[in-house]
Protein backbone atom coordinates (compact mmCIF):
# COMPACT_ATOMS: atom_id res chain seq x y z
CA UNK A 1 0.00 0.00 0.00
CA UNK A 2 1.15 3.48 -0.72
CA UNK A 3 0.12 6.28 1.63
CA UNK A 4 -1.22 8.50 -1.16
CA UNK A 5 -3.51 5.69 -2.38
CA UNK A 6 -4.80 5.19 1.16
CA UNK A 7 -5.33 8.95 1.58
CA UNK A 8 -7.23 9.25 -1.72
CA UNK A 9 -9.44 6.28 -0.86
CA UNK A 10 -10.15 7.47 2.69
CA UNK A 11 -10.94 11.04 1.64
CA UNK A 12 -13.23 9.83 -1.14
CA UNK A 13 -15.05 7.42 1.18
CA UNK A 14 -15.43 10.14 3.81
CA UNK A 15 -16.96 12.59 1.33
CA UNK A 16 -19.16 9.89 -0.20
CA UNK A 17 -20.31 8.85 3.27
CA UNK A 18 -21.44 12.37 4.05
CA UNK A 19 -23.28 12.68 0.72
CA UNK A 20 -24.87 9.24 0.99
CA UNK A 21 -25.84 9.56 4.65
CA UNK A 22 -27.33 13.05 4.35
CA UNK A 23 -28.32 13.79 0.74
CA UNK A 24 -29.07 10.36 -0.73
CA UNK A 25 -30.75 8.71 2.26
CA UNK A 26 -34.52 9.18 2.05
CA UNK A 27 -36.62 10.54 4.90
CA UNK A 28 -38.45 7.19 5.02
CA UNK A 29 -35.18 5.27 5.37
CA UNK A 30 -34.03 7.62 8.10
CA UNK A 31 -37.32 7.38 10.00
CA UNK A 32 -37.77 3.63 9.65
CA UNK A 33 -34.26 2.12 9.90
CA UNK A 34 -34.36 2.10 13.71
CA UNK A 35 -37.77 0.44 13.94
CA UNK A 36 -38.10 -3.07 15.33
CA UNK A 37 -38.50 -6.05 13.06
CA UNK A 38 -38.36 -6.32 9.30
CA UNK A 39 -39.59 -2.78 8.66
CA UNK A 40 -36.44 -1.41 10.33
CA UNK A 41 -34.10 -4.06 8.96
CA UNK A 42 -35.26 -3.51 5.38
CA UNK A 43 -35.22 0.30 5.65
CA UNK A 44 -31.66 0.00 6.96
CA UNK A 45 -30.74 -2.34 4.12
CA UNK A 46 -32.16 0.10 1.52
CA UNK A 47 -30.20 2.94 3.11
CA UNK A 48 -26.96 0.94 3.16
CA UNK A 49 -27.51 -0.13 -0.47
CA UNK A 50 -27.85 3.48 -1.66
CA UNK A 51 -25.00 4.59 0.63
CA UNK A 52 -22.69 1.88 -0.72
CA UNK A 53 -23.68 2.73 -4.29
CA UNK A 54 -22.88 6.40 -3.60
CA UNK A 55 -19.46 5.43 -2.27
CA UNK A 56 -18.73 3.32 -5.34
CA UNK A 57 -20.03 6.00 -7.74
CA UNK A 58 -17.50 8.42 -6.25
CA UNK A 59 -14.63 6.02 -5.51
CA UNK A 60 -14.39 4.21 -8.84
CA UNK A 61 -13.94 7.33 -11.02
CA UNK A 62 -11.48 8.83 -8.51
CA UNK A 63 -9.49 5.58 -8.57
CA UNK A 64 -9.51 5.53 -12.37
CA UNK A 65 -8.59 9.20 -12.76
CA UNK A 66 -5.76 8.97 -10.23
CA UNK A 67 -4.55 5.60 -11.48
CA UNK A 68 -5.03 3.91 -8.12
CA UNK A 69 -4.25 0.20 -8.11
CA UNK A 70 -7.18 -1.28 -6.17
CA UNK A 71 -8.10 -4.95 -6.22
CA UNK A 72 -11.63 -6.23 -6.69
CA UNK A 73 -11.20 -8.39 -3.56
CA UNK A 74 -10.04 -5.39 -1.52
CA UNK A 75 -13.04 -3.38 -2.72
CA UNK A 76 -15.45 -6.22 -1.92
CA UNK A 77 -14.03 -6.81 1.56
CA UNK A 78 -13.63 -3.13 2.47
CA UNK A 79 -17.03 -2.07 1.17
CA UNK A 80 -18.63 -5.14 2.74
CA UNK A 81 -17.19 -4.41 6.19
CA UNK A 82 -18.24 -0.77 5.86
CA UNK A 83 -21.79 -1.73 4.79
CA UNK A 84 -22.29 -4.29 7.56
CA UNK A 85 -21.01 -2.00 10.32
CA UNK A 86 -23.06 0.92 9.00
CA UNK A 87 -26.23 -1.18 8.98
CA UNK A 88 -25.49 -2.43 12.51
CA UNK A 89 -25.01 1.05 13.95
CA UNK A 90 -27.99 2.53 12.11
CA UNK A 91 -30.39 0.08 13.74
CA UNK A 92 -30.10 2.62 16.61
CA UNK A 93 -30.79 0.18 19.46
CA UNK A 94 -27.39 -1.38 18.74
CA UNK A 95 -25.53 1.92 18.96
CA UNK A 96 -27.51 2.87 22.08
CA UNK A 97 -26.40 -0.46 23.60
CA UNK A 98 -22.78 0.25 22.68
CA UNK A 99 -23.04 3.71 24.27
CA UNK A 100 -24.47 2.12 27.42
CA UNK A 101 -21.79 -0.55 27.81
CA UNK A 102 -19.02 2.00 27.21
CA UNK A 103 -20.42 4.48 29.74
CA UNK A 104 -21.58 6.95 27.08
CA UNK A 105 -25.36 6.87 27.72
CA UNK A 106 -25.46 10.41 29.06
CA UNK A 107 -23.57 11.74 26.05
CA UNK A 108 -25.77 9.61 23.74
CA UNK A 109 -28.84 11.43 25.08
CA UNK A 110 -27.24 14.89 24.80
CA UNK A 111 -29.48 17.27 22.86
CA UNK A 112 -32.65 15.35 23.66
CA UNK A 113 -35.30 15.66 26.35
CA UNK A 114 -33.85 12.52 27.96
CA UNK A 115 -30.60 14.31 28.88
CA UNK A 116 -30.54 15.84 32.38
CA UNK A 117 -29.34 19.16 30.93
CA UNK A 118 -31.48 19.12 27.79
CA UNK A 119 -31.67 22.37 25.85
CA UNK A 120 -34.72 24.45 26.71
CA UNK A 121 -35.86 28.00 26.07
CA UNK A 122 -36.55 30.44 28.91
CA UNK A 123 -40.20 29.32 28.88
CA UNK A 124 -39.23 25.65 29.20
CA UNK A 125 -39.90 24.57 25.64
CA UNK A 126 -37.36 22.53 23.66
CA UNK A 127 -34.63 24.75 22.23
CA UNK A 128 -33.12 24.38 18.79
CA UNK A 129 -29.65 22.86 18.70
CA UNK A 130 -27.17 21.65 16.13
CA UNK A 131 -27.21 17.96 16.92
CA UNK A 132 -27.34 15.21 19.47
CA UNK A 133 -24.87 12.97 21.21
CA UNK A 134 -26.46 10.01 19.41
CA UNK A 135 -25.69 11.63 16.04
CA UNK A 136 -22.10 12.46 17.05
CA UNK A 137 -21.49 8.88 18.25
CA UNK A 138 -23.15 7.50 15.10
CA UNK A 139 -20.93 9.52 12.78
CA UNK A 140 -17.80 8.80 14.84
CA UNK A 141 -18.56 5.06 14.67
CA UNK A 142 -18.99 5.29 10.89
CA UNK A 143 -15.74 7.25 10.49
CA UNK A 144 -13.85 4.56 12.39
CA UNK A 145 -15.15 1.91 9.99
CA UNK A 146 -14.44 4.11 6.96
CA UNK A 147 -10.82 4.09 8.11
CA UNK A 148 -10.87 0.29 8.41
CA UNK A 149 -12.52 0.02 4.98
CA UNK A 150 -9.90 2.27 3.40
CA UNK A 151 -7.11 0.16 4.90
CA UNK A 152 -8.74 -3.03 3.61
CA UNK A 153 -9.41 -1.58 0.15
CA UNK A 154 -5.83 -0.42 -0.25
CA UNK A 155 -4.03 -3.41 1.27
CA UNK A 156 -5.96 -6.48 0.05
Q: What contacts 24+ positions apart, CB below 8 Å, involve 80-86? A: 81/145, 81/148, 81/149, 81/152, 82/13, 82/52, 82/55, 82/145, 82/146, 82/148, 82/149, 83/48, 83/51, 83/52, 85/141, 85/142, 85/145, 85/148, 86/48, 86/51, 86/142, 86/145
What pLDDT does residue 102 have?
96
The answer to whether residue 120 scores a pLDDT higher than 70 is: no
pLDDT digits (tens, 9 = 90+) for 27-74: 999 999 999 999 999 999 999 999 999 999 999 999 999 999 999 999
pLDDT score at 130: 61
- Name the more confident of 126 and 23: 23
pLDDT band at 118 (very low <50, low <70, confident <90, very high): low
The percent of residues in the chain predicted with pLDDT above 70, rounded, is: 87
CA distance 152 to 156: 6
Amino acid sequence: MDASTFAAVFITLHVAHSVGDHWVQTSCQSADKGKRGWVGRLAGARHVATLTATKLVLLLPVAALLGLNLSILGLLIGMGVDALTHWWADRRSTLAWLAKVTGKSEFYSLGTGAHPAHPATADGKPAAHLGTGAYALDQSFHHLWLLVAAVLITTV
